[in-house]
Amino acid sequence: MWQRIRNLKFRMKLMLMFGILFIFIMGMGSVLYYCYMAENLKESGKSNAEEVVRQLYDTMESRIEAVDNRVHAMLINNTFVTTLANYLIQPTDERIAVTMGTVADFLKNLELGESVIHSVYIYTDEVEFDNFSLYRNWEFQFPLSQFYQVFQGNQRGKQWFWAMPDPIFQTRDLVVPCVWRFRVQGVPKDCFLVVQYSKKELDAILEGKEEFFDQIMVLDSRGKRIAGDGTFAAVCSDSLEIDGKHYMTISRQMPDTGWTIWCLKSQQPQLDDLSHIRKMIAGIAGGLCLICLGITWFLATRLTDSLRRLTQRMNCVTNGDLDTRFFYPYQDEVGSLAKSFNYMIGEMKGLIDFQKDTIEELKRERDYVAEIQKQKRKAELKALQAQINPHFLYNTLNTITWQAADQGAEEIARLSNLLGKFFRLTLRKGAEVITLREEAEHVRSYLDIQRIRYRDKIQYDIQISEQAMEAPVIKLILQPLVENSIYHGIKEKQGEGMIRVQAAVEKSGAEEYLILTVWDNGIGMEEEKIRGINQGLRDGITGQSEGYGIYNVNERIRIYYGRQYGLSFVGKPGMWTRAVVTLPFCSTDKGEMQDEPNIDRR
């Protein structure tokens, strides 16, 4: 029998199992029906409660809206506005009596128009107004009160407060203040209207619904009490348990005031009606569930045993055992899975061997590409430096020097000698890295040549610390900056110009940096132009028609040392410009100078 069942398709096995479960599901229908009825009863009670809360919301909303309408009508009344404005614009003893009488009449009419209003009060910088029906609390000062502090920003309109003892009058009744901030035409300063709602009247609105609810209260957006005598805290759920009793919570928010009406209704009557039925069905359902669980467990264990063993073989493969196989003697879906599993493991093992060979080939290819890239970067570095051919120029200038000396042209001889020295330092047997001392000598030769050309228009000063003198640097990084200072700064300046070349070592944490600066007192550059140049240097722009030399210097530095180093400019229009080069500092006693660029830092 079991042999035939095990040879069934897996689908038939599932149908057999669910057929057995279906018998028990029919018995569970009664439980589901009970749950449906219980839920329906709860929903009906909740719907009735929400309808009562809606009526309560409409009543309270209409009362507050009526007060708002009366306040708006008073604030736009021509007599009220004109009388108040005349006094505030030109306060006199004659006008104060008229103003206080007129304003008091309006406040009295506003208070008598709605019973929910406890009292009304107006504050201005000149005088305070009320309707003279209550004794004022003379210790109350509006500018020092929380009513005034809440308007210290640019808030207008009205602000609600929570229930509190009357702070303005001596009644000590509980009131809910609402403060209006308004302005009278022609008066530059704001006025404030305080409408104090009677908490007793607000409680009276709730009293008509207390027979339906166990507790009712109204809270503002900060959780402060507005009305009602409820003792429970506001909750986010639809139910609440107090002293072992279950209650249903209903809430409704009033958008205009920010208040929320909270109502609490006991669920105990509904629960009592269903208690007996619940106990009876719970016993039946419990028995059926135990039987169903037992049968389900038994069938699931029998039907999934083969899948469990297949899972164990898969875990062996996950742990790296590709020699495992799963043998299953039957012809159902699990048998098909077993064949597929064994075939897949064989294919996977072949693919892994092929992948190993491919990885080795890719590693060799990667090493080859890395070497090509290294050679390419080195060629780029050499191409950037090869702006001129110093061999030919140096030999030619040497000939010119001797011929000029023979003919008595001393200045020409000195100029060609300096220029020859300039290109001799540039050549330096093809070395890419020289000491900062040699770089400074190269710049000095260039400046002496320019002084001969421009006579007394150019002065210079080279200041390099002893610590930095023997520091290795790539050559030809200072001369383009000095040339830039001459042609774009001092050449356009009226009068004598000064170029100052400085170098110093600075330390930041564990790192040491070599800071080179070229300063000139030329015509300077606009801030926008400096920002554009610095942005181009950061982005690696090298195709600039203007100032190609500085972009050349910056790119060489970044290729050799890494992209965190380079060149930047600061300055002030019409006064000065400073080029700043940041390099890693390495003294010659730390290691020999190298001509290879540090391409791994890019």
Element containing residue 104 per DSSP (H, E): helix 93-113
- Report which of residues 488 and 541 the model is more confident about: 488
DSSP state of 235: -
Give the pLDDT confidence score for residue 593 in this predicted structure.
Answer: 47
Give the pLDDT confidence score for residue 153 in this predicted structure.
Answer: 67
Partner residues linked to 570 by β-bridges? 578
Nearest 5 degrees, angle CA 254-CA 212-CA 236? Answer: 45
Q: Which amino acid is at 504?
A: A
- Report which of residues 52 and 24 the model is more confident about: 52
Q: 126 is written with which tokens?
A: 């000149």
**Which single residue is written with the structure tokens 């006025």?**
191
pTM of the model: 0.44
What pLDDT band is residue 140 in, cutting at 50, 70 and 90? very high
Which residues does 21 contact at the CB level (< 8 Å), separation at least 6? Answer: 292, 295, 296
- Report which of residues 530 and 14 the model is more confident about: 530
Of 79-88, 99-108, 389-398, which range is least confident?
389-398
Taking only the tens place, the pLDDT of each residue in 205-220 is 888 665 677 788 888 8
Q: Render 65-98 in DSSP notation, one character per residue.
A: HHHHHHHHHHHT-HHHHHHHHHHHHS--HHHHHH
Q: How far apart are the first and last CA of the chain?
A: 74
Q: Is the pLDDT of residue 105 over 50?
A: yes
The overall average pLDDT reported for the chain is 80
Which residues does 129 contact at the CB level (< 8 Å), separation at least 6? Answer: 99, 100, 103, 104, 107, 121, 122, 123
What pLDDT band is residue 351 in, cutting at 50, 70 and 90? confident
Q: Which of 222-226, 262-266, 386-390 has the highest mean pLDDT?
A: 222-226
Residues 394/420, Cβ–Cβ less than 8 Å: yes
DSSP state of 143: G
Give the pLDDT confidence score for residue 456 in this predicted structure.
Answer: 73
Q: Is the pLDDT of residue 485 over 60?
A: yes
What pLDDT band is residue 478 in, cutting at 50, 70 and 90? very high
**Which single residue is written with the structure tokens 């260039």?**
446
What pLDDT band is residue 48 in, cutting at 50, 70 and 90? confident
Q: Which amino acid is at 45?
A: G
Taking only the tens place, the pLDDT of each residue in 370-396 is 776 665 566 455 545 554 445 445 555
CA distance readout (Å), 194 to 98, 175, 222, 224: 21, 11, 20, 19
Closest CA to 171 of 140, 125, 204, 217: 140
How many helices and strands, by DSSP H and E, does the chain display?
15, 18
Q: What average pLDDT score do residues 426-451 get?
A: 80
DSSP state of 457: G
- Report which of residues 511 and 373 the model is more confident about: 511
What pLDDT band is residue 569 in, cutting at 50, 70 and 90? very high
DSSP state of 149: H
Q: What average pLDDT score do residues 332-338 get?
A: 75
Give the pLDDT confidence score for residue 387 in this predicted structure.
Answer: 44
Provide, rounded to the nearest whole percent, the portion of the chain with pLDDT above 70.
77
Burial group, residue 43, by CB count within 10 angstroms (0-12, 13-18, 19+): exposed
Q: What average pLDDT score do residues 220-240 get?
A: 75
Of 20-24, 28-32, 147-151, 174-178, which range is least confident?
20-24
Give the pLDDT confidence score for residue 493 in this predicted structure.
Answer: 85
Of 55-59, 413-417, 427-431, 435-439, which range is least confident?
427-431
What pLDDT band is residue 175 in, cutting at 50, 70 and 90? very high
